[in-house]
């Protein structure tokens, strides 16, 4: 069927600009399915769901991230206090002063015990006094070197890290999320099918509305011409003295009403064509002709049907969507439950910084690699997860209740649409009988009027009955077309 739609569309494109296009119902449906803005949105939603599914699948794979940063601080980190720094910077002077203060006592004790060492002790004391300042400076320089070695100089920090994370076990959350995206794709596909069915039904209604008004326009023209002919005959009869001015006024009033009716039908036909063009994605001013609008007797199948509820249950997109919604809420409960299960991930990476602490504090870039396993075990969250799981299960229960309600409504709708089809069949049968009687009544009235045994008002009544009978026949035929379309949509089979 789709190939037929495409072929018809290509032919129509070739005819554009050369002749007025003649559109069949199938070609109108095909153009509407291709050009309708709402369907384009539904198709975009389906594409989005497809990409969401692919994105969810990537959660099984390792993720690599790169992080880099620079920070300027007002003060650097100090491993030594100010007192410790001052002590190290003056360690030489402090040591010399303490040694100089204690040396005489120590020297006297040595000389008292070992008198022979007195000259040596005196020489040492003189040498110490001569070199005390030098020894103090050397000690201070040594202490300052230690202080400088402990300086971090972290006011300008630059760091970078590349990290690889491989999930090992996430409590089933990844699988549940992937299943949800797949169900969402099913939802989008079902919504697209439902939107296509609705668009085709709208096209059918607009198409048959144009056909109905085109037939009623021809009927209105015939009725107007019939009254115009009668008006001319009445004028002649007045001139011959066999009719009155009152007869002429009665016919003129009916003729004016017929003109007004014709004008309203033409306006309605123009607007209906514009609506059909809008649904099909055609320019509103294109006013295409329809393949069925010249048919004065539309082909119809007046056969009663029985409501096929089981087919509707199997095909209706709404039930499919509600069933999928229950599955989504079940997966959502799994995701919430995963929050209280252990989560394990493998990590590995390489970190670099400047300054670095891998060889003291160096102002150069240097880094190292690291590999590890991360375990996260939730301990207590005041029952939050339990409540969320129950909420998700309640949502699934709500979806199940909505499904039961939808099945009841669909069953009712299918029965209503089947009833409308059968009612339209009976209406057509009655309208055809009435049309035969109206045709015979009009023929008899016209003959009687010519013979002078039928009054003008009786003829006008016969003509009005003839008009109403033809209009009822058109309405009955269109009702059959529309009721079948609505019934097929209720079954989920419109366009198949």
Does residue 450 carry a pLDDT above 90? no
Range 402-428 average pLDDT: 93
Cβ contacts of residue 48 below 8 Å, gap of 6+? 188
Residue corresponding to tokens 């001139």: 239
Distance CA 411, CA 308 (A): 9
The total of other beta-carbon atoms located within 10 Å of residue 362's CB is 14
Is the preceding peptide bond at 280 cis, omega within 30 degrees of 0?
A: no
pTM, two decimals, is 0.75
Element containing residue 315 per DSSP (H, E): helix 309-315
- Domain limits, CATH 1.20.1600.10, in the chain: 174-339+388-491
Range 467-471 average pLDDT: 92
| CATH number of this structure's domain 174-339+388-491 | 1.20.1600.10
CB 144 within 8 A of CB 89: yes
Does residue 88 carry a pLDDT above 50? yes
pLDDT of residue 302: 67
Q: Which of 24-33, 108-117, 175-184, 457-466 has the lowest mean pLDDT?
A: 108-117
CB 329 within 8 A of CB 399: yes
Does residue 114 carry a pLDDT above 80? no
Does residue 6 carry a pLDDT above 60? no
Pairing mode, if any, of strands 63-72 and 156-169? antiparallel
| Alpha helices, DSSP H, located in 339-455 | 384-451
Distance CA 207, CA 23 (A): 10
Distance CA 12, CA 6 (A): 10
Secondary structure (3-state) at 284: coil
Cα 36 to the center of its chain, rounded Å: 16
Closest-CA residue to 272 (of 288, 251, 257): 288
CB 160 within 8 A of CB 53: no
pLDDT of residue 102: 76
Q: What ranges make up the beta strands (E) of 49-106?
A: 63-72
Q: Where does residue 306 fall: left (phi above 0), alpha (psi -120 to 50 degrees), or beta otherwise?
A: beta
Q: How would you label 217-227 residue by residue, b for 16+ Cβ within 10 Å and e otherwise?
A: bbbbeebbebb
For residue 446, give Cα distances in angstroms to 258, 461, 469, 470: 19, 11, 17, 17
Secondary structure (3-state) at 290: strand
Range 221-248 average pLDDT: 84
pLDDT band of residue 257 (cuts 50, 70, 90) is very high
Does residue 9 carry a pLDDT above 60? no
Phi and psi at 349, nearest 5°, equal -175, -175
Does residue 169 carry a pLDDT above 60? yes
Q: What ranges make up the beta strands (E) of 108-226?
A: 156-169
Q: What ranges make up the beta strands (E) of 327-399?
A: 343-354, 366-376
Question: Considering the chain, what is the average pLDDT of its residues?
Answer: 86
CB 166 within 8 A of CB 126: no
Tell me how far apart the 2 most distant CA atoms of the chain are, in Å: 182
Cβ contacts of residue 68 below 8 Å, gap of 6+? 158, 159, 160, 161
Residue 254 is classified by DSSP as H
Tell me the CA end-to-end span of the chain in Å, nearest whole number.
8
> What is the percent of the chain with per-residue pLDDT over 90, rounded to a whole number?
51
Range 59-70 average pLDDT: 93
Q: Quick one: tokens of 335? A: 């995701």
């Amino acid at each position: 069927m789709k190939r037929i739609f495409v072929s018809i569309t290509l032919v129509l494109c070739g005819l554009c600009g050369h002749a007025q296009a003649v559109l069949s119902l199938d070609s109108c449906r095909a153009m509407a399915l291709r050009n309708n803005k709402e369907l384009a949105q539904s198709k975009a939603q389906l594409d989005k769901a497809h990409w969401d599914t692919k994105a969810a699948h990537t959660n099984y794979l390792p993720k690599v991230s790169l992080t880099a940063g620079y920070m300027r601080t007002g003060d650097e980190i100090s491993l030594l206090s100010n007192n410790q720094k001052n002590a190290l910077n003056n360690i030489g002077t402090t040591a010399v002063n303490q040694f100089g203060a204690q040396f005489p006592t120590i020297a006297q004790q040595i000389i008292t015990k070992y008198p022979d060492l007195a000259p040596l002790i005196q020489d040492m004391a003189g040498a110490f006094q001569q070199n005390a300042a030098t020894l103090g400076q050397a000690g201070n320089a040594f202490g300052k070197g230690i202080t400088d070695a402990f300086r971090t100089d972290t006011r300008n920090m630059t760091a970078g890290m590349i990290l690889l994370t491989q999930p090992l076990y996430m409590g089933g959350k990844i699988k549940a999320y992937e299943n949800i995206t797949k169900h969402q794709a099913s939802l989008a596909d079902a919504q697209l099918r439902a939107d296509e069915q609705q668009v085709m039904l709208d096209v059918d209604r607009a198409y048959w509305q144009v056909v109905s008004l085109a037939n009623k326009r021809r009927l209105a023209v015939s009725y107007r011409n019939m009254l115009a002919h009668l008006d001319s005959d009445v004028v002649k009869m007045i001139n011959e003295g066999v009719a009155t001015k009152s007869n002429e006024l009665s016919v003129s009033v009916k003729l004016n009403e017929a003109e007004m009716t014709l004008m309203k039908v033409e306006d309605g036909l123009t607007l209906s064509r514009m609506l059909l063009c809008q649904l099909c994605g055609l320019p509103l001013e294109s006013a295409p002709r329809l393949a069925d609008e010249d048919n004065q007797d539309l082909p119809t199948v007046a056969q009663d049907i029985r409501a096929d509820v089981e087919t509707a249950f199997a095909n209706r997109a709404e039930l499919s969507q509600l069933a999928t919604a229950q599955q989504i809420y079940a997966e959502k409960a799994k995701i919430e439950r995963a929050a209280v299960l252990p989560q394990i991930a493998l990590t590995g990476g390489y970190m670099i910084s400047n300054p670095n602490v891998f060889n003291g504090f160096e102002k150069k870039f240097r880094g190292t690699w690291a590999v590890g396993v991360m375990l996260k075990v939730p301990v207590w969250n005041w029952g939050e997860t339990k409540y969320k799981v129950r909420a998700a299960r309640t949502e699934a229960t709500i979806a199940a209740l909505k499904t039961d309600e939808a099945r009841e409504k669909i069953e009712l709708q299918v029965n209503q649409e089947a009833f409308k089809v059968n009612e339209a069949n009976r209406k057509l049968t009655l309208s055809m009988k009435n049309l035969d009687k109206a045709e015979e009544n009009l023929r008899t009235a016209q003959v009687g009027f010519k013979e002078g045994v039928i009054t003008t008002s009786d003829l006008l009544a016969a003509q009005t009955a003839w008009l109403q009978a033809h209009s009822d026949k058109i309405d009955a035929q269109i009702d059959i077309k529309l009721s079948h379309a609505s019934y097929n949509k209720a079954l989920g089979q419109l366009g198949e």
